[in-house]
Amino acid sequence: MLFRNLFSTDQPENVLPIEQIMQYVTSGSTLSFNLGTVGPEQKISILGVDNTTASIFYIKYAISEVARRNVFNEGMILQQLTMLTFVPKLESYVFEDKRFTLIKTSVLTGQKMKNPFLNEQLLNTLFTLSTLKVKSNRMYASNLVSCFAHGDFCPWNMFYDQGKINIFDWEMAGQYPVGYDLFTYIFQFEFLVNKKKRFKKLLKDNSDFINRYFNQFKIDDWKIYLLEFINIKYSIESEKKNAILIKPFIELKKYVAKDI
């Protein structure tokens, strides 16, 4: 049994919920623990191998209120996405009120997506997601047309495997205004990885995909949807006190508002 942290111990049960975790894995399984980033959304991630079947599995375990809510939502979503081939398969889903939430899934394979640019495959994936009728705890109501969305549709939540895109980390999935995933993909990588704010260039470079996406919904004025996306992002990141994203979304809102 292995786990990553800044220290080591010969008594891992003092820092890890081993007794609870072992109820959901085969005896003798090999487990690797990642304690995650300290904070209200901290979760323990476990990559395991069932030594009896040689199958690989993944577990998310959460105890804080915010983390439990996020993992609970992901479990609810994955229960409803069994028809999709590009999402993890849910094997266990446990919600112990005010104690912990746990999901156990299959493991997606492939290479990490590094391309921040939209393409035909991503656009078709967005169209597929938008047609799904999925119940979720995340419902961002507005007067605009809404649809089901991943909620954190970014390259780092995707693998590219043998010509297809696999998508994981469905904690933020739910009902959002049309275009939420599209704009997340366009701007989130720019703000967090490139650490730039090339608003005009990004919108120009992606104008064909943006127009084709909104034409699918028979929506002509997509800028009001971009503003709604910004408002939701700002609200979410403000709640998390994430200064890295708050400022660029404020500046993006000012830029877009000039043209409306």
pLDDT in tens, 202-228: 999 999 999 999 999 999 999 999 999
Worst-scoring range by mean pLDDT, 40-44, 129-133, 153-157, 180-184?
40-44
Q: What is 207-239 written as a DSSP string?
A: HHHHHHHHHHTT-S-THHHHHHHHHHHHHHHHH
Distances (CA, A) of 33 to 92, 97, 215, 240, 254: 18, 23, 45, 25, 43
Q: 91, 89, 102: which is closest to 166 by C-alpha?
A: 89
Confidence tier at 260 by pLDDT (50, 70, 90) = low
Share of the chain above pLDDT 70, in %: 94
- Locate 167 and state its tokens: 């998508």
Sorted by where each starts, the structural domains of the chain and their CATH numbers stand as 2-106 (3.30.200.20), 111-257 (1.10.510)
pTM, entire model: 0.92
Determine the number of helices (DSSP H) and then strands (DSSP E) in the chain. 8, 11
- Locate 159 and state its tokens: 């693998």
User: What pLDDT score does 258 carry?
Assistant: 86
- Whether residue 146 contacts residue 82, with contact meaning beta carbons closer than 8 Å, is answered with no
Q: Where are the alpha helices (DSSP H) in 22-115?
A: 65-80
User: What pLDDT score does 15 carry?
Assistant: 66
What distance in Å separates the CA atoms of residue 55 and residue 49, rounded to the nearest whole number?
A: 6
Query: Three-class SS string for 6-33?
Result: CCCCCCHHHCCCHHHHHHHCCCCCEEEE
- Locate 57 and state its tokens: 């599995």
Worst-scoring range by mean pLDDT, 11-15, 103-107, 136-140, 241-245?
11-15
In the predicted structure, residue 173 carries a pLDDT above the cut 90: yes
